[in-house]
Structure formats: structure tokens, C-alpha cells
Amino acid sequence: MTTNAAGRGASESEGDARAPQTREPSPAPDAKRAPVPLTEQIVEVEKTIRDRARRYPDLVARGRLLPDTADRKLEALRGAQTSLTWLDANMYWIRPEAERRIKAQRLAAEADELRSHPAVAPVLEALPGAEISRVTELTTPEPQTEDAA
């Protein structure tokens, strides 16, 4: 059994302490860094699946991993790959729908805020059944030139 720096048994994810480490150190989190595109995520998951499919039989043979556990872990990774692939194939409609829902939530929150506004609340109270049915974004009119006036 290998041990890690803390003296505990190394887990399957830590690998064998004698094996050379090929991972690059993780960069510090950067809030300005762009998200990783789905296609790159899919490629990385595929690489992980191939790597684990090669490594798990040895771990099972050495008694470090149960066959059912190895199968389940690979099944989970393949499920993640399937989900990412589906998401990537459907982004053409998911992104606009998500933007539409976010805008609708924002406008609903604005309507809730308007209900308690000092100028609106008395009107809603004075007119039973009155409600705010729609909130629209106001656009700034373009300045008119003297020719248009």
C-alpha cells in the first residue's frame, strides 16, 4: 500500500506514489479567465475515460479497486460525456431560452418591486383587481436633429 504525504493510504485518484506525476500544476483561480468551451470539456472527459479504462483493470487485479466500483466509475464518466455532448449539440436553442428566462425573471422581480413603490402601491390599493401585467424595458429615444423637427 502506498501512502501519501500525510501518511494515509493513497486513494485511487492519487495514483501510485512511485509513478511519475504527469499532471501540470493547477493555475490559480482567475475570475477573468474565460470558461472552458464544451468541446474542450468533452475532449478531456474522453481522455479521462480512456486513461481510467486502461488503469482500472490493473487496480482491480491488485485488489485496490472492486470490479463493480470500476464499472460504475466508468459508467458515470460515460454519462458525463453523453450529457456534455448533448448539451453541446443543443446549445443553439438552450442559450437563447436561458437568456429569455433570465430576462423574464428580472422583469418579474422589477414588477414585484414596482408593487411596493410609493407611487404605485396606492393605485393598486385604490383599484381592486388592478395588477401589473407587464414590465417593459424603456429605451432612450435617439436625439432628434433640427431637420426632423
Ordered by start, the domain boundaries in the chain are: 38-89, 94-126
- Dump the DSSP string for 21-42: P-PPPPPPP-TTSPPPPHHHHH
Which residues contact residue 89 at a Cβ distance below 8 angstroms, ignoring those fewer than 6 apart?
Answer: none
Between 24 and 62, name the one with better pLDDT.
62
Least confident of 39-53, 72-86, 94-108, 118-132: 118-132
Q: Output DSSP code: residue 7.
A: S
